[in-house]
């Protein structure tokens, strides 16, 4: 392991470096084969502007103190196919979410082989998946059609059928209400602008629409802003811990659903 020590008390099996890229923060920890964190999670603010190379440099610096790991899983806030980024709407902005898109940065992200580049920079095989898809791997039960919604900087979604990940759809950028998308109406900028009460009403409206659209058997709501939800969301809805964005890193290697750079 290039001289890096295996954490004391870590169980047998491979160690997974799990990284969660968010619009406001970059988070990482190392998980044992059972999904337990072997070191405390580290976090730094997401820097802007953020072309691909700056994100990679920031992640390499972030994970340097975490010690040994055998493989890497990364959840990314955008469209990812086979480890290659197709869209990064909240990252390709001038000053962060809510600010204007930087066309040059958006172009740089389109087609960026993030898994391959991180495999080279970190020296370990790396898989990259949309962050909501990755979070779903940690929470779904494998029964019927299960949907995951992440409430954070933006609005992410994932669908699983009988425990298998379905093709990713960027529903967050689909029209929702008042000529704005789910992302624009339910993201963190909107929550701060309209206040908790109105934002909660919007979330409930979105949940109802998504049930009509997908007829999910169960919906899991996570992300950093899930803590602002109020009241009972109904028997088909569960609020899950934001740590699922890290813990889903194990599932990504178990079912091979993400792009691999090695």
Tokens 């491979």 map to which residue? 14
Is the pLDDT reported for residue 260 higher than 70? no
Tens-place pLDDT, residues 57-75: 999 999 999 999 999 999 9
Strands 175-177 vs 180-181: parallel, antiparallel or unpaired: antiparallel
State how far the Cα of 127 lies from the Cα of 56, in Å rounded to an integer: 14
The SS3 call for residue 195 is coil
Tokens of 90: 């909240």
Burial label, 95 (beta-carbon count in 10 A; 0-12, 13-18, 19+): exposed
Tens-place pLDDT, residues 16-67: 999 999 999 999 999 999 888 999 999 999 999 999 999 999 999 999 999 9
Give the mean pLDDT of the chain: 92
Residue 105, phi then psi, degrees to nearest 5:
-70, -40
Tokens of 183: 């992302």
- CATH C-level class of 141-240: alpha beta
Q: CA separation (Å) from 205 to 48, 173, 198, 216, 258?
A: 32, 16, 11, 15, 31
All residues at 6 or more sequence positions from 138 whose CB lies less than 8 Å from its CB, including other chains: 35, 240, 244, 245, 247, 248, 250, 251
pLDDT at 261: 44
Residue 162 vs residue 260, higher pLDDT:
162
**Residue 41: Cβ within 10 Å count:** 14
Tens-place pLDDT, residues 92-133: 999 998 899 999 999 999 999 999 999 999 999 999 999 999
pLDDT at 9: 60
DSSP class of residue 94 equals S
State how far the Cα of 121 lies from the Cα of 38, in Å rounded to an integer: 22
Q: CA separation (Å) from 51 to 83, 93, 113, 167, 232?
A: 17, 9, 13, 26, 40
Residues in the chain: 262
**First vs last Cα of the chain: how many Å apart?**
16
State how far the Cα of 81 lies from the Cα of 111, in Å rounded to an integer: 9
Tens-place pLDDT, residues 202-226: 999 999 999 999 999 999 999 999 9
CA trace torsion 121, 49, 26, 139 (10° rounding): -100
Which segment of 9-13, 85-89, 141-145, 167-171 scores lowest on mean pLDDT? 9-13
CATH number of 16-133+245-260: 3.30.420.40
Domain with CATH 3.30.420.40 in the chain: 16-133+245-260, 141-240
Q: pTM, whole model, 2 decimals?
A: 0.89
């Amino acid at each position: 392991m290039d001289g890096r020590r295996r954490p004391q008390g870590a169980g047998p099996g491979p160690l997974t470096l799990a990284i969660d890229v968010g619009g406001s923060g970059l988070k990482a920890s190392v998980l044992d084969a059972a999904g337990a964190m072997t070191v405390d999670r580290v976090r730094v603010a997401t820097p802007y502007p953020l072309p691909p190379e700056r994100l990679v440099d920031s992640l390499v610096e972030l994970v340097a103190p975490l010690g040994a790991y055998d493989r890497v899983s990364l959840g990314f806030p955008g469209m990812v196919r086979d480890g290659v980024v197709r869209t990064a709407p909240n990252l390709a902005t001038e000053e962060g979410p809510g600010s204007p898109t930087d066309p040059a940065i958006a172009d740089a992200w389109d087609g960026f082989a993030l898994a391959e580049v991180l495999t080279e920079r970190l020296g370990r095989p790396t898989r990259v998946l949309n962050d909501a898809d990755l979070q779903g791997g940690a929470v779904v039960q494998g029964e019927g059609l299960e949907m995951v919604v992440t409430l954070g900087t933006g609005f992410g979604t994932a669908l699983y059928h009988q425990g298998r990940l379905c093709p990713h759809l960027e529903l967050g950028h689909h029209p929702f209400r008042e000529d704005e998308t789910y992302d624009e109406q339910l993201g963190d900028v909107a929550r701060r602008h309209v206040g908790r009460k109105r934002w909660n009403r919007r979330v409930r409206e979105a949940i109802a629409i998504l049930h009509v659209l997908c007829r999910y058997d169960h919906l899991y709501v996570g992300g950093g802003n899930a803590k602002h939800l109020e009241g009972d969301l109904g028997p088909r809805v569960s609020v899950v811990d934001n740590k699922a964005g890290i813990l889903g890193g194990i599932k990504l290697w178990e079912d091979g659903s993400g792009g691999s750079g090695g």
